Structure formats: structure tokens, C-alpha cells
């Protein structure tokens, strides 16, 4: 069974959230900005592990299982409560923390490098494509079986390359940037970065939880 991520971007400011008026007065702390489902699509276990310590253990996670924030906005708390019976590993991370990350840091916790695929771009540079995306073709290039090719990092030293036209296979270690690609997370970061310019990096956060 696969694992999915859910969550919301929140901002902390002095704006009044009028969506849920009650006798206790307005919530002037954290306010919901957008559902993560509107900005992030799909599954990426490298991302889940790198950011929140879920499913993949290649990296020391940035914000593993911090728990659901007690001061979450009412709307986000309600969304989490509705899914709580089926959810796990709630956590959160601020834009200040994300902005300080060394995204070029290589994975140190994975047991061995992996065979990554790169494609030559219009500028002639090699662009990272993924891991294990064409193991059968790599097996042909190496002259081995698909299983050995899938775990090529166990058998060939880091830096070993196999050229296949405009495609390149290289034994390397995953970087945080590759684990959390802009192609998937760019919209999330853009929203958080924009909010941080107005409200401050510590006042913008992403609250998440997972389900299987």
C-alpha cells in the first residue's frame, strides 16, 4: 500500500480569520493559506524521507515527526481531526528552516550509492532524471541482469558511468535537491517564499501528515 502526504500552508500574522467566527473571538495567530493538494501532486518517497522521515531513510530528515502543532489554525486542526484515524507521522516545518537548507548536501545515510539516470538537455548539460527508471536498459549496457543493474551501486564504485546516446547512467549519491525536486515542490516553495517576504520566514510553515 502506498503512502500519501496531506497538509496545509499556514501563516502567522495579525489578520483576522473570519471564516470561522465564534464567541471566543478571532484567531490572530496561525491562519490557513492553502491546501497542499493544490500545490503538490503525486508521491515521492525520497521527498517524504528527506523532509519528514517517512518511507525513505537516505537523509537525516529536516523535520521528522514533530507532531501536529498545538497552535494550528482552526481549519487545519479540523482537517487533521477528520483524517486522524487514518493518518500518521504529523509534522511541520517553517520557511526559515527550508531557506537555510543546503540542498546540494548528498545523502549520507543510504547504505550505498545508486545508479541514476541523466538526460542531455538543450544546453548540452546533463539533467538528473531519476533512480531506477531504466534498469533493463542499464542491464543491457553493463551486460548483466536487471536486478544487479537495479542495485548497481553495490557492485560498481561511485562515479562509474555508462553512456547511452543522450542518456547517461552514473553511480552517485542522491542530493537533497534531487530528493525534493522543484518540479514537484516548486509551487509549494513559491507560495511560502512569497508569504515570508511579507510576514517573515518564521511566520510561514507547512503542516503535514501522511496516510497509507
Q: Which set of grid coordinates corresponds to residue 39?
A: 500545490
User: E strands of 13-65, at which residues?
Assistant: 30-35
- In this prediction, residue 16 carries a pLDDT of 42
pLDDT at 27: 47
Q: How far apart are CA 170 and CA 163, in angstroms?
A: 9
Mean pLDDT, each 10-residue run in order, the chain (212 residues): 94 61 59 95 92 95 97 96 93 98 90 88 91 84 91 92 95 93 95 96 97 92
Q: Which residue is listed with cell 539533467?
A: 127
Q: What single DSSP character describes residue 160?
A: -
pLDDT at position 171 = 94
137 Cβ contact list (under 8 Å, min separation 6) = 164, 167
Concatenated DSSP letters of 57-74: -SS--SS------TT--H
User: Across the chain, which distance is largest between two alpha carbons, in Å?
Assistant: 72
Residue 93 to residue 129: CA distance in whole angstroms? 27
Predicted pLDDT of residue 24: 52
Task: Say what the alpha-carbon torsion angle 154, 156, 161, 163 is, to the nearest 10 degrees.
Answer: -90
Specify the pTM.
Answer: 0.84
Give the per-residue pLDDT at 17: 46
Amino acid at each position: 500500500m502506498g503512502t500519501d502526504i496531506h497538509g496545509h500552508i499556514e501563516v502567522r500574522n495579525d489578520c483576522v480569520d473570519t471564516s470561522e467566527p465564534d464567541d471566543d473571538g478571532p484567531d490572530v495567530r496561525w491562519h490557513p493559506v492553502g491546501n497542499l493538494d493544490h500545490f503538490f501532486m503525486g508521491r515521492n518517497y525520497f521527498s517524504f524521507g528527506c523532509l519528514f522521515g517517512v518511507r525513505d531513510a537516505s537523509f537525516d530528515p529536516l523535520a521528522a515527526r514533530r507532531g501536529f502543532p498545538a497552535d494550528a489554525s482552526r481549519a487545519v486542526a479540523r482537517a487533521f481531526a477528520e483524517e486522524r484515524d487514518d493518518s500518521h507521522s504529523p509534522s511541520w516545518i517553517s520557511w526559515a528552516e527550508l531557506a537555510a537548507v543546503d540542498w546540494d548536501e548528498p545523502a549520507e545515510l543510504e547504505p550505498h550509492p545508486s545508479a541514476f539516470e541523466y538526460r542531455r538537455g538543450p544546453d548540452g548539460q546533463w539533467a538528473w532524471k531519476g533512480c531506477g527508471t531504466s534498469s533493463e536498459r542499464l542491464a543491457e549496457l553493463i551486460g548483466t541482469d536487471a536486478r544487479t543493474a537495479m542495485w548497481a551501486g553495490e557492485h560498481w564504485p561511485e562515479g562509474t558511468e555508462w553512456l547511452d546516446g543522450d542518456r547517461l547512467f552514473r553511480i552517485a549519491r542522491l542530493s537533497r535537491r534531487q530528493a525534493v525536486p522543484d518540479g514537484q515542490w516548486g509551487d509549494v516553495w513559491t507560495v511560502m517564499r512569497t508569504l515570508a517576504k511579507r510576514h517573515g520566514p518564521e511566520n510561514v510553515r507547512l503542516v503535514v501528515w501522511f496516510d497509507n
